[in-house]
Amino acid sequence: MMEINQDTLDLIKEFEGFRAKAYKCPAGVWTIGYGTTAAAGVGIEPKAGMTITEDEAEDFLEKTLEQFGQQIKPAITAPINNNEYGAFISLAYNIGPGAFRKSSALRLFNAGDKAGAAKSILMWNKAGGKVLNGLVRRREAEKKLFLKAIEIPDEEEISSKHRTSLAQSKTMQASTLDIATKAGAGVTALAALDGNAQYIVLGFLGLSVLFTLWIMRERLQKWAGGIR
């Protein structure tokens, strides 16, 4: 499954750099945020004086990368993981999807030569016929991401999470059963009281239920935050 992961976003953001104010790139195209232009077709047309926030810039970047992904996915015919895909997305975002589809990096990858594909990423380090240090560093970062292994939780970690989830479920079940039991006993006792006493008891019961629900909510929030 080809998805843009956080490592990919971080890499592209690092090398594109954030610009809150619209500017003209070396090619004379109005650009903003993390290298977003009107050609991206993501709902913004940078122009003189325009400014955006960093959050807005990241949103436009993610939309742009999704579009780039749609353009290069059909050309990827070999099985691919998200780190390899991320490296290709970053490369395509920098050199253009057309150039990427014609690249030896893609050709070698589809042929099953991942080592050759990783080396071929490094070839795209020139602009105007000259090697640029910034492109050299970016290609090295893309190669590193391409070769980075996908982390898969081991069986012990999965088992631990399952046990924790099961324990939480049983605790919740016990709490629910306790509330139901107390409620049943309360109804029986309530029937033996007169009118005014019933109102008083009902008030206390209502407060008890609300307090119990509050405790359960706090416990759920702690579980969600990783606090046991």
Q: Which residues are catalytic?
A: 16
Taking CA atoms, 85 is separated from 24, 138, 163, in Å, by: 29, 15, 34
Query: Is the Cβ–Cβ distance between 212 and 175 less than 8 Å?
Result: yes
Taking CA atoms, 30 is separated from 35, 41, 46, 65, 128, in Å, by: 9, 13, 6, 18, 20
For 21, residues 6+ apart whose C-beta sits below 8 A from its C-beta are 32, 49, 50, 51
Between helix 82-95 and helix 6-16 the angle, nearest 10°, is 20
Q: Tokens representing 221?
A: 């929030």
For 121, residues 6+ apart whose C-beta sits below 8 A from its C-beta are 87, 91, 105, 139, 142, 143, 146
Can you tell me the distance from the alpha carbon of 207 to that of 165, in angstroms, rounded to the nearest whole number? 29
